[in-house]
Amino acid sequence: MTLPDTGFMLRSLEFLASFFVIFIGLSFAAIVVIYIIDVTQTTQAIRRNYPVIGRFRYFFETLGGFFRQYFFAMDREEMPFNRAERSWVYRAAKDLDNTTAFGSTRNLSPPGTVLFVNCAFPTLGTDAAQVGAITIGPDCKHPYTTGSLFNISGMSYGALSRPAVLALSAGAAKSGCWMNTGEGGLSPFHLEGGADLVFQIGTAKYGVRDEHGHLSDNKLREVAAHAQVKMFEIKLSQGAKPGKGGILPGLKVTAEIAAIRGIPAGQDSISPNRHPDINSVSDLLDMIDHIRTVTGKPVGFKAVIGAYGWLDELFAEINKRGQTSAPDFITIDSADGGTGAAPMSLMDYMGLPIRESLPLVADKLLAYGLKDRVKLIASGKLINPAEVAWALCVGADFIVSARGFMFSLGCIQALHCNKNTCPTGITTHNPRLQKGLNPTAKAERVANYVRNMVYEVGTIAHSCGAREPRQLRRFHARIVTEDGRSISLEDMYAADTVPPAAGQHGRQR
């Protein structure tokens, strides 16, 4: 038997001991330096009063969100999206079984809870129909006809990474839904996937602006020349920041993004809080008519509803001019919509939620005889089948989602969208972090999400006795009231739908 080399062992132990002493010495020195820095600084009281250990407060604050998400929060407790909501999207995107066992974890008693009304004789599979196609802008030179029910809401290239945009575009093409470009302009990656596109015109006119920042007819024609661009959407306001323009931090404004938007690289991209050239409902209708004439394609607008007297003015003016002057669609965004960056005061307190604004607008369109002419698109936290089915019940023709599709790409709700540090590569331009997002694989998940969404909304419709989702009506669902009993959505939203008397249109209600 060979005896161990005792000399080698002794030298190894001496090395480890020396290393340990040096490590302890450096650690002690670092603690002393941090201690001196903390007790001499005057900006943070916690660090001054509790040097060194006071720093752990910020570390634990950072970890708090992750611990709540994975260990402490119940399935239906988190905001903005709870674990149950996210899990459904993840499983749908992976095309996994989304059935559950034993019983629902959803509390059915809180006021505002929506309950769908199953009928005695549900629609058989043999009687079910495909989702019906709808034509948007029938009087346009190039109307858009689509059967797509659930679509991708506006997310700009810049707010999203290159692989994320590629995955969304390719996934939309696979599933037959459309993709909104967001206000950041038309990128090659939107086009590469082959999806139908809705070009969004934000308040800064990115992608269709001249050197002075004004709307350029030549740029409009260039965008409209792409066959994939089916419609144009004028963004008046966005759910998470009504009354505030888009914000893209300068660290995310790369040279490529700057060229697409027509702005300087490396500088914060901040849009005006409204279109400077739209000062009234007449201006809005003029702008819609102008863009429609230049492009030949359907044009609508997106808005968060807060004050709504202006809608009466708008619809009255449309009927005065003639229904051909109407927007081809209106996208209603919810006050609890999402964004990459917005002031908390606006995100938390401004605007009406979709539960109130969508039926309000649907009723006004009906009252003014415009419901068939103007298609209604619902947006804002509608990421699960029940939410989409509710929107159809109260009057939506289409539903769009942004954050739902981010979850389908693998978003973990890390809340780093504005920091260029997104761990899943969706909202970052850091090449190292983008590597984790494979556009080809994620495109399939996007397509699966759309297919499973439409299938399960159809399941709800069939249970209610409707042949297809767009046949859902308000009497197909009920809502729990304060006394614990439910009433029909038809009764819940049975507000006065008669247009106001002349002279009352401008009142801010």
Residues 414, 315 share a domain: yes
Residues 200, 52 share a domain: no
Domain contains 363? yes
Q: What is the pLDDT of residues 31-79, one digit of tens each?
A: 888 889 888 887 766 677 778 887 776 666 555 555 555 555 554 455 5
Q: If we measure between CA atoms, which residue out of 418, 412, 334 comes closest to residue 78? A: 412
pLDDT value of residue 57 = 65
Residues 51, 185 share a domain: no
Residues 227, 362 share a domain: yes
pLDDT value of residue 115 = 94
Look up residue 91 and give its amino acid.
R
pLDDT value of residue 497 = 45
pLDDT value of residue 271 = 80
Q: Are strands 329-333 and 299-304 parallel, antiparallel or unpaired?
A: parallel
pLDDT value of residue 498 = 42
Among left, alpha and beta (phi > 0; psi -120 to 50; other), residue 426 is alpha
Residues 422, 351 share a domain: yes
Residues 152, 59 share a domain: no
Q: What is the pLDDT of residues 410-442, one digit of tens each?
A: 887 877 776 777 888 888 888 888 888 889 999
d(CA 166, CA 157): 10
Domain contains 411? yes
Domain that holds residue 18: 6-72
Which residues of the chain are modeled with pLDDT < 70? 1-5, 7-8, 44-46, 57-81, 239-241, 243-246, 337-343, 345, 347-348, 418, 495-509
Which three-class secondary structure state does DSSP give residue 151? strand
d(CA 351, CA 337): 10
Residue partners of 225: CB distance under 8 A and separation at least 6? none
Residues 394, 245 share a domain: yes
Q: What is the CATH number of the domain that holds 256?
A: 3.20.20.70
Residue partners of 8: CB distance under 8 A and separation at least 6? none
pLDDT value of residue 492 = 86
Place of tokens 């309000």: 360
Residues 300, 160 share a domain: yes
Provide the 8-state DSSP code for 324: G
pLDDT value of residue 272 = 84
Q: Are strands 229-235 and 477-480 parallel, antiparallel or unpaired?
A: unpaired
Domain contains 64? yes
Domain contains 500? no
Q: Are 403 and 90 in contact (CB under 8 A)?
A: no
pLDDT value of residue 251 = 74
pLDDT value of residue 69 = 57
Residues 477, 377 share a domain: yes
d(CA 456, CA 462): 10
Q: Are 319 and 367 in contact (CB under 8 A)?
A: no
Burial class (CB in 10 A: 0-12, 13-18, 19+), 113: middle
Residues 181, 46 share a domain: no
Q: Cα dihedral angle (249, 255, 256, 257), rounded to 10 degrees?
A: 20
Domain contains 406? yes
Of 72, 87, 110, at which residue does a domain stop?
72
Of 72, 94, 111, at which residue does a domain stop?
72
Of 72, 90, 108, at which residue does a domain stop?
72
Domain contains 180? yes
Domain contains 508? no
pLDDT value of residue 59 = 64
Total count of domains within the chain: 2
d(CA 475, CA 411): 35
d(CA 379, CA 466): 23
Residues 236, 335 share a domain: yes
Residues 139, 18 share a domain: no
Q: If we measure between CA atoms, which residue out of 494, 361, 493, 465 comes closest to residue 116? A: 465
Domain contains 82? no
Place of tokens 């250990």: 53
Beta bridge partner(s), residue 377 = 331, 398
pLDDT value of residue 241 = 64
Q: Token digits for 193?
A: 């996937």
Helix extents (H) in 350-478: 354-367, 385-394, 403-409, 431-434, 439-463
